[in-house]
Each structure stands twice: as structure tokens, then as C-alpha cells.
Structure 1
Amino acid sequence: MEDDETLNMVLAQILTELGACVASFGNAEDALIGLLENHGACSLVIADHGVPGALKGLEFLQMVAEKWPHIPTILTSGYHFQPTGDAPPVTFLFKPWSVEELLSAIGQAMARDSVITPLGADQPGG
């Protein structure tokens, strides 16, 4: 879920080249409808926090975590987040990201070992 059309196309292309079946949405409301229509049949959700509409990325991922806790999630944003006690289990990917950072975030999310942990935060100097 990304409202920047160019970034959305790049992200979809990278994921497709990795062998993923991609469904792209420009806002959280449409993404939620897509998940509901497919009964949560999704192996990974990547959401930008600053999308248009009443529902923002983090709130959308909270809904995903509550309804489909088996789906790993990645939150992207150009702004840093401070996790709260009720934050959903997500991997945070800071914008602008590189392909290597995206691949690392996907690996981290699929391992389900993060709760809004910025990539590199566990490394010295990170």
C-alpha cells in the first residue's frame, strides 16, 4: 500500500521479480477491502504510513495484525516512529530505502522477530 505511484510501481516490480504475486493499493481502505475479499490470503503486507484517507498505515497494520495475525507486515515512512505498547508486530522500513534494505526488511518481517524495530538499530552505531 503506497500512494506514490512511481514508488508503488517500483515496489511491485521488485516483489514480482522475487516471485511474489502483488496486489497494489493507494490507500488503506482499498487495501483492507482487498484483504477481506481474499479472506486474508496474503503472505506479506507492506504499507506506507502517510497514505491519503482517514486510515493511516500503522492503524491499517494494527487491523491486519488483529484479524490476520499470521501475516507479516512492513511499515514504511519518511518519518521515524516511537512504538507504543499496543503497536502491532511490524518491521519499520525508513524511506528512502534501497533494494538491499527492502530485502532485509522482508527477511526480518518473514522471520516475525520485530516490533517496530528500525533496520540497523541492533547493529553497532545503528
Structure 2
Amino acid sequence: MDNKYCRFINEEEEIPKPLLLFPACSFTEIRTKIPKRIVAYEFYAVANGCQRVFVEEDGITDIEKQVIPDPAKVSYMNLFINGVLQPHDNYTVEAGKLTLNTVDAPITGTPIILQMFII
């Protein structure tokens, strides 16, 4: 075989060691804070076709006791009607009470989900 790209190494010939370069590591210390505990509340209800005011007793009782906390203690809240996120102008929340500010009421069987987060 006479190939200029192939080279056979004799047993007496020493094979050169590979050149290994390791990345330089930074030894600066990075500290992070543990995130705060978040408490989430959900209120699930089903519309009856004419109701625009929902209280805690209107919530679905199959899941657990439904709670609507005081909005002054809540950091963030979302209202979903039939799976669609509603603008804040469309509803008012008080302790134990959700009021829809729309002209019409959701149709019968429409799911209503109010999410509330306390950070």
C-alpha cells in the first residue's frame, strides 16, 4: 500500500500524547434566594343561565370547600369563563363573592373558574 495519507507506526516508535485543553473555571460564588411560598385558591362554579353574582356556596362541592378570599390579601387573580380569560373590568371580587359586571349572564352549564394567588 503506497498511500501518502496512511502512516504505519512501528512498535518502537512512541505515539505522541494528545493535547487536552480544559476550560478555565470561575470560582466566584453565586447565591440565590429561595422563592417565597405561593398559596393558590380556586373557585369553581357552573352558571345557571341568569346568575351574575356567585358566592362561596355556589361553588362545586365535589372538589373541596370553595373559598373566595379577600382581594386585599390576594396578590394576583384571573377569571375564566368557558375557558376564556376575562378582562378585570368584567368582574368584581369581594370576600366570599364574585360579581360579573357584564350585561348578560353566562349561559347554562358554562364553567366559571376564579384563580387567586397569594405570594
TM-score range, shorter chain: under 0.3
* Structure with a larger share of its residues in strand: 2
**Radius of gyration: which is bigger?**
2
State the TM-score, normalized to the length of structure 2: 0.27
* Structure with a larger share of its residues in helix: 1
Higher relative contact order (CA 8 A, sep 6+): 2
State the TM-score, normalized to the length of structure 1: 0.26
